[in-house]
């Protein structure tokens, strides 16, 4: 019975990924696109945002997900994380191409509003650093987990950035979903850390 569940659970994962891509495509097509590159910018942002959320969320349930899918979930987790980083890189490169400057990769500190409205810039580098820690887990030992937590900070910065100036986030429903995703992610993180702290005591 357990052997029969593996293919079924795998199809659930694949189906969820396809559904997510279809939803992203739908949101992008609903937007008013002035040029094809705007579609690339928005699709990269939405896909990267969703992948970062899933990677951060699933990192709290590795054992449970491994039992459910009947195989190690670490590889899938890494694939999702790398996909998110690549999607955000496409998003950033497309903006740099359109604006004809590489300055878009640098955080701005002119004011709090400027920093947060362009929060995708520091978020991108935080995600890059957090992703690289997976390659040096053995060398970093326990410290890699702490560095990996940068994904949560990056997601919060990305949410604020999208809320303030994200074109696809002009729809109230998407704004509400983004806030709910952020609250859920922070709640899971705090609950997991609290449970681990109690176990140590």
Specify whether the CB–CB gap between 52 and 158 falls below 8 A. yes
The 3-class SS string of 77-105 reads: HHHHHHHHHHHHHHHHHHHHHHHCCHHHH
The reported pLDDT for the residue numbered 1 is 43
pLDDT tens, position by position, 15-50:
555 566 556 665 655 565 567 788 888 888 888 998
Number of structural domains in the chain: 1
pTM of the model: 0.81
The reported pLDDT for the residue numbered 140 is 66
Q: pLDDT by residue for the chain (201 residues), tens digit each?
A: 454 555 555 555 555 555 665 566 656 555 655 677 888 888 888 889 988 988 888 888 878 777 776 667 777 888 888 888 999 999 999 999 999 999 999 999 999 999 999 999 999 999 988 887 777 776 666 677 777 788 899 999 999 999 999 887 877 888 888 888 899 889 888 888 887 777 776
**Can you tell me the distance from the alpha carbon of 159 to that of 23, in angstroms, rounded to the nearest whole number?**
18
Alpha-carbon separation of residue 99 from 33, 41, 93, 153, 159 (angstroms): 16, 12, 10, 27, 22
CATH number of the domain that residue 157 is part of: 1.20.120
Q: Which domain holds residue 139?
A: 2-200
The reported pLDDT for the residue numbered 109 is 94
């Amino acid at each position: 019975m357990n052997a029969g569940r593996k293919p079924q659970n795998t199809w659930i994962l694949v189906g969820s990924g396809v559904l997510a891509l279809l939803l992203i495509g739908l949101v992008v097509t609903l937007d008013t696109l002035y040029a094809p590159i705007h579609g690339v910018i928005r699709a990269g942002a939405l896909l990267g945002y969703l992948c970062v959320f899933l990677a951060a969320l699933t990192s709290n349930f590795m054992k449970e997900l491994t039992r459910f899918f009947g195989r190690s979930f670490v590889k899938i987790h890494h694939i999702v994380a790398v996909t998110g980083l690549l999607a955000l890189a496409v998003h950033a490169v497309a903006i740099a191409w359109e604006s004809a400057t590489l300055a878009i990769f640098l955080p701005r500190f002119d004011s709090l509003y400027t920093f947060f409205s362009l929060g995708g810039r520091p978020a991108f580098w935080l995600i890059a650093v957090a992703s690289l820690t997976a390659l040096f887990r053995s060398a970093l030992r326990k410290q890699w987990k702490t560095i990996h937590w940068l994904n949560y900070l990056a997601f919060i910065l990305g949410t604020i950035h999208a809320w303030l100036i994200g074109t696809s986030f002009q729809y109230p429903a998407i704004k509400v979903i983004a806030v709910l995703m952020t609250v859920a992610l922070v709640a899971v993180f705090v609950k997991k850390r609290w449970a681990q702290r109690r176990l140590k005591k």
